[in-house]
Structure 1
Amino acid sequence: MLTINVAVLLAVIIVVRLRRRTEARKRSDERLTVLIVLVFGVLVAPTAFGHGILNVVGQLAEGITQSSR
C-alpha cells in the first residue's frame, strides 16, 4: 500500500503554486496559497525537521540582534 505524507504533498503543491506568474493570480488564489502554507507550517512544526528550522531561525535572529548592538 502506498502512503503519502500530507506535509510532503503540501510542500509540492506550494512549490507548484509559487512557480506560477504573479500577475496571473487572483486575490482568492493568493489567499488559498497562504492557507496551504499555514497548514503546512502546522504539520511540520512538531517534527524534528520543524524543530531544526526553528533552531536555525532562532540562531540567525540572535546573531542579527547581537551584531546590531
Structure 2
Amino acid sequence: MELTINVAVLLAVLIILRLRRRTEARSRKDERLTVAIVLVFGILIAPTAFGQSVLDVIGQVTEGISDAGGR
C-alpha cells in the first residue's frame, strides 16, 4: 500500500491550523512564515483547474467593483 500526500492539501491544512490561532499570540517571524506558506500554496494551486476557477471569480469580482466605482 502506497500513501501519497498532495503538497497543496497539506499546506491548506497547515494554513487553516495556523490561522485558527489568536492574532495576539503571533510574532513577526510567525506572521512571515504564514505569509510564505500561503504564497507557496498559491503557486502550487495556480495551475490547477480549481486555481483557474478561483482566478476567474476574483477577476469577475474586481471587474464588478471597478465598474461600480466608475459610475
Instruction: Decide: shared fold, TM above 0.5.
Output: yes
Report the equivalent of 2:34.
33
Q: Which aligned segments of 4 or more residues in structure 1 are displaced greater than 3 angstroms?
A: none
Deviation at 1:23, TM superposition (A): 0.8
Distance 1:26 1:60 in 2: 33
Counterparts in 2 of 1:17-56, with a 5 A limit?
A: 17-56=18-57
Q: C-alpha deviations, 1:2-55, integer Å up to 9, x for none?
A: 110000000000000000011111111001000000000000000000000000
Distance 2:22 2:68 in 1: 37
% identity of equivalent residues: 71
Query: Which stretches in structure 2 are left out of the alignment for 5+ residues?
Result: none
SS of alignment partner, residue 46 of structure 1: coil
SS of alignment partner, residue 51 of structure 1: helix
Distance 1:37 1:61 in 2: 21
Distance 2:55 2:40 in 1: 17
Give the alignment's Cα RMSD to 1 decimal: 0.6
